[in-house]
Amino acid sequence: VGEAGDDRGAAAVKVQVGEAGDDGRCGQGSGREAAGDIRGAAAGKVQVGEADDKSAVAAGIEAGMAEMAGAVATEMVHARLLVEQTRKSNERAFFADTEAFRSLQLYTGRDPGDLRAAVHQLAAARHVDHIDLNFGCPVKKVLKKGGGAAIPKDRVLFRALCQAAVEEANLYDIPVTIKFRLGLDDSDHYFLDCGRIAEESGVASVCLHARTATDLYGPPSRWHHIAELRSHIGLPVWGNGDVFCAEDAMRMIEETGCDGVTIGRGCLGSPWLFRDIDMLLRGETSALDPTTLQKVACIATRHAQLAVEHATWQALQSKRAEDPAKLAKRILSAHRKHIDWYLNGFEVDDEAMLACKQRLSGVATLVELEQFWEETVKTLGADLEWQRLNVFKGNSQK
């Protein structure tokens, strides 16, 4: 379970949180798109706590839909806003009835009391099966307030937050995991201290994004530090950073010895990544077929339909009166970034891509979106082969 994210499909895999059991609970999917972000997770047997499977792979996504998911976490929910029951926080904390394994990621400020209250609210209501704390946010406005990746720099505060969450969650037998980066910058790598403090605080497992906050997402992730953390503590360690294909996930496991792999940007525009990882874990490499534009168009269309359906359901639940046409237009406008990510997986000339994106800018209904994809497939070719193009290179905040 990793960083914040995006839209889900069903997961037919066993999920274990805490000590292993035989209840065979599965993470199952539903659409989740309030502000255009839906979160999913990845493949194989997953255990948070006393790990017994070193080849386990799981993922938290920032956007996309998961064909094969081991665990699914919500988009980050702010602890204080959750306690205040704001509409947006409630929408982000929503789980469908079909989601048998409910994993929620909390973003906390600098007040352990707020975090404890949020964990109590979730746990006492039996709203979640697992809580993940994200200490990895590198956004400047967050860091200026001392939040996100700036929190672990204050080891005393970091320990207080971990202990507050774990103590409250333990009352309801709910495991807490955490995610952090190498450090704020290369002058202070705090990740080994974070791992030690997490272990002493009773955290079930940790996830390391092997970059500093100042790195954002640009320089290559330094996987050797994942191996270093793995040898430094007794907790299960999950690796994060630069997993864009199934082979990347397997290589991370082999090179670092990590207990699992979390995926963020890697699945944007390629939700079948989880299926591919699942197949490799099962030794089914021959089943990995190229994905064509025609197939991607079908997946992307269904993704948009789920986003609109979910937003419509949320509006009804909250008794908000909103014109259906305006709602669809609002959701599809936010959803365009997903279409961009799907398109960016294809190698076409700049002029053809620009023409596609110009047509996309005028889409306001699902019918128009279907027409957009029909025209795109006709123009570029139904059999155009999708390629794993890393469109997230560079020191970007996005």
Q: How far apart are CA 41 and CA 66, in angstroms?
A: 6
Nearest in space to 11 (alpha carbons), one of 31, 1, 25, 22: 25
Residue 197's H or E segment, with its range, is helix 191-201
DSSP state of 221: P
The whole-angstrom distance between residue 378's C-alpha and the CA centroid of its chain comes to 33
Torsion of CA 240, 246, 251, 253, to 10 degrees: 60
Closest CA to 77 of 131, 27, 142: 131
> What token pair was written down for 116?
């404890």
Work out the number of other CB atoms within 10 angstroms of the CB of residue 199.
Answer: 17
Residue 90 pairs in a beta bridge with none
How many CB atoms neighbour CB 340 within 10 A? 16
Question: Phi and psi for 281 in degrees, rounded to 5?
Answer: -65, -30
Distance, in Å, from the CA atom of 274 to the CA atom of 238, rounded to the nearest integer, reads 16
Which residues are known to be catalytic?
137
Say if CB 70 and CB 111 are below 8 A apart.
no
Q: What is the distance in angstroms between the CA of the first residue and the CA of the last residue of the chain?
A: 20
If DSSP codes are grouped into helix, strand and coil, which group holds residue 308?
helix
